[in-house]
Structure 1
């Protein structure tokens, strides 16, 4: 009987002890309450706006050689910024060790600066450019980032972004992605391969009479039916360390596009050692040379450098391009790594971009090119080269390229009319595009087109993604920067170039609180709490009950010994 009583007593006391140990309280004080969610779920702050889709902000890029990439200074799968980057960024992964963003100049022409970063590995607090009366920001982050609204500025992964306002920050929500990088890079690969095999004149080192003064005069080249000049540059031309001048560029908003194909022939790394100089037509005042500079005026950028590899079956160069001298013009190298060591003005489109030194300056590639570039020194012998593009609507004679409007009727029969390859709507807004907001989604992809008028698809599966560098422990040395020869080919339309698009593992993971395995939401954390950490379960109520249980157990033991 005594044994049974003793056993029952122990069971009762153990139950009390276990009950006391099991009582917890997630309320650290009266002002801090934390909501515990399912660990496998996402922690997205409902107070942060949905970023939408890139087509919401840029309604028509169908005629631009870079598509949506033309709207970003750096368009890349992975970017590492170690020197001043003057421009906006669209990156699948960002290691931002310095500030970036499009600086506001005296021109005050850009009303909104838009950036998109799917995964932030590191970002400087001073990133982006503060809004003012002339400029606002829209910055979208992927859902894998922890985005919070602060008292004055938002926080991203715990870092306060002091140059942004709370209403300027956005985030992908649910299955929505602002930019599908895999799909866009598949299109860019197709465009690069298409340009690489287009008909164009080839320039080698032997093409220059004076190797110390190398000039490519655009008045010597035929303007294609799509108002484009295509030039094929032999591998060794940019390997040379003497300057290369592109002369005769149009400063007009709708000037002739110039595509320069650079064949790397698998040279890895490819050494770009030539200083690139640009000389623009300027009417009676003569040619004007453009310096590397910060600007908000993009209408005069009609130059695209396409780096490719003729030895590769898909024409894609997968090695590194070392920019060892100052460079101007937008760069297309969708599978390459670009290492920038000196100032570069334009768009930079690549698989990976490392800004090592110097500065980079945003200078967006333009479309709607419907004005043929006028030769620098027109004479009777070059009259045959002067073509007039019908823009599809009436032109004010005062704004015509004809120097004497009164002689227009006399010369009308001698002028050649070139179809620009598309119909221009006079009501079209050259900045915002047409009112058909989803036009780019309906754009059909066709086989290779030597006139470059349509984006080829090349049978690419847009659903595939690119591989990402998963080395999160990369150590970076920060280097500061200053402020401030292919033959012409007949195209086989039955052939198909299929750029390879590697598979990848979707790296979307739940957002975790830094001090806990439990995700938290902004709505459930009091702003006064430190970093959103979970409060400790240290309320004295559970401890007192546990101590009482231990005391009763000790008393039973003493009674048994006394009776014994």
Structure 2
């Protein structure tokens, strides 16, 4: 009888211990799966420096680890590889919040953090920044590269050290970096050759500027407060629509709405060629968008649920552009200019020099359209039908229809008919959180509840089995 009781107790104890082990394993596996599903993996096949820093690819065009579709972007996006970065410049100076990644030949950003807090339908899943050189007096902020999916690549002359998985750049610790997401250029290699890149961007800008405006673009500038450019019926060339406007239009502080934009991520882009730009230019217009599904964007935001399909091409002769009032939506191409950001800009900023002074920049990559030809360059270079005066109301009444409708939970002001809906933006990640806790926090609420309920059920079952075992034991003893 004693042997029976002993075996009985041992059986229940073993069962209880096994169930507890299973429940603990489920919890651990769930958390680890969440981390592994979103964490950034370094490509260690290239090798590492003597200090343990991973070596970067010879060129961004070979980096299929971080950019699996790099060839498509390089060939078909109107900005090429520059479209992968919120700021793409030879020289970058940050004095205000920069919600995006950076590729620059030289960075000056004393104690200014940067990085994308939301993906915003961008061209890459990672938030990769490439800093080729750092200004001598620059101390990187401890929360630079703040995106949870950050990858940082540095030029080979920048001092980097790793100790106990803690990274120091120019002797300053950067809490967001570790041995898994920190790279450095190989000797005599440059991840991005900025001189070559800007030569190509200047060629693109000139080719776009020399193209004919697409047929059936309609302007309505009769009311200064309701100016519009409708491209819903416009002809396309390689999934691009070309629009010419005079500089005077965007220098005035009135709103301009671009209508008929595709709501599809791979839909047609609109290249707006700004004509007659002076050497020193100022933009003051309030740029708004209206998509083919009826949704509108009016105002800036860190979070975007509709694609960016607009490129503002300022050409190669302008030397200085001050964005000092209004709000600018869309990407900017000014390869020989200095762009001074005084108000918010949502989109890529591609310029020789970028100074983020008081306005914020929000990463919102111009989309890569479906392009079977593999060449986004226009083929004609004649004609100039830039509108320079107010015209009558000849806006078409029929919009192009597209089959897909994106997520309606936009944090922009969304206008559908006469109804204004303003959703609450997603909260920013707390800087004090560890990278692991950030990944764990990405579990959706429903998954967390299911995980919790499963574990509690197993624990409850274990307790019940233990109770029955003890009850049976006492009954036998009596």
Q: What is the TM-score of this pair, normalised by structure 2?
A: 0.63
Query: Hey, what's the Cα distance between the residues in 1 that align with 2:191 and 2:245?
Result: 36
Verify: 1:293 aligned to 2:301, yes or no.
yes
- State the match for 2:373 in structure 1: 422
- Residue 195 of structure 2 aligns to a residue whose secondary structure is helix
Pairing of 1:75-90 with structure 2 (within 5 A): 75-90=88-103
Alpha-carbon offset, residue 126 of structure 1: 1.7
- State the match for 2:195 in structure 1: 182
Verify: 1:275 aligned to 2:250, yes or no.
no
Query: Hey, what's the Cα distance between the residues in 2 that align with 1:103 and 1:159?
Result: 23
CA contact (8 A) 2:331 2:348 kept: yes
- Residue 83 of structure 2 aligns to a residue whose secondary structure is helix
Q: Which residue of the other structure, out of 258, 261, 264, is the alignment partner of 1:246?
A: 258
**Alignment CA distance shift 1:72-1:100 (3 Å):** same
Q: Computing the radius of gyration over CA atoms, which structure comes out larger, 1 or 2?
A: 1
- In the alignment, structure 2 segments of 5+ residues that lack a partner are 1-48, 387-478
Query: Hey, what's the Cα distance between the residues in 2 that align with 1:231 and 1:167?
Result: 44
Alpha-carbon offset, residue 226 of structure 1: 1.6
Query: Hey, what's the Cα distance between the residues in 2 that align with 1:108 and 1:231?
Result: 24
Query: Hey, what's the Cα distance between the residues in 2 that align with 1:234 and 1:120?
Result: 38
- Residue 238 of structure 1 aligns to a residue whose secondary structure is helix
**Alignment CA distance shift 1:322-1:173 (3 Å):** same
- Residue 211 of structure 2 aligns to a residue whose secondary structure is coil
Q: Which residue of the other structure, out of 116, 126, 130, is the alignment partner of 2:143?
A: 126
CA contact (8 A) 1:272 1:323 kept: yes
**Alignment CA distance shift 1:109-1:188 (3 Å):** closer
CA contact (8 A) 1:281 1:288 kept: no
- State the match for 1:25 in structure 2: none
Query: Hey, what's the Cα distance between the residues in 2 that align with 1:72 and 1:109?
Result: 9
Normalized per residue, which structure has more helix?
2
Alpha-carbon offset, residue 102 of structure 1: 0.8
Greater Cα offset, 64-73 or 51-60:
51-60
Question: Larger RCO: Structure 1 or Structure 2 (Cα < 8 Å, ≥ 6 residues apart)?
Answer: 1
Verify: 1:117 aligned to 2:122, yes or no.
no
Cα-to-partner distance string for 1:314-356 (whole Å, 9 max, x where unaligned): xx12411011221100111111100011111000100000011
**Alignment CA distance shift 1:252-1:290 (3 Å):** farther
CA contact (8 A) 1:328 1:346 kept: yes
**Alignment CA distance shift 1:109-1:153 (3 Å):** farther
**Alignment CA distance shift 1:48-1:256 (3 Å):** same
- Number of residue pairs matched by the alignment: 324
Cα-to-partner distance string for 1:113-170 (whole Å, 9 max, x where unaligned): 1110000112222211253xxxx32211001110111334200111111111222111
CA contact (8 A) 2:84 2:123 kept: no
- In the alignment, structure 1 segments of 5+ residues that lack a partner are 1-43, 309-315, 370-419, 424-442, 453-484, 489-564
CA contact (8 A) 1:102 1:113 kept: yes
Alpha-carbon offset, residue 71 of structure 1: 0.5
Query: Hey, what's the Cα distance between the residues in 2 that align with 1:199 and 1:278?
Result: 23
CA contact (8 A) 1:342 1:358 kept: yes
Cα-to-partner distance string for 1:470-500 (whole Å, 9 max, x where unaligned): xxxxxxxxxxxxxxx9438xxxxxxxxxxxx
Pairing of 1:261-410 with structure 2 (within 5 A): 261-265=273-277, 267-282=278-293, 286-295=294-303, 300-308=307-315, 316-324=316-324, 325-369=326-370
Query: Hey, what's the Cα distance between the residues in 1 that align with 2:268 and 2:310?
Result: 9
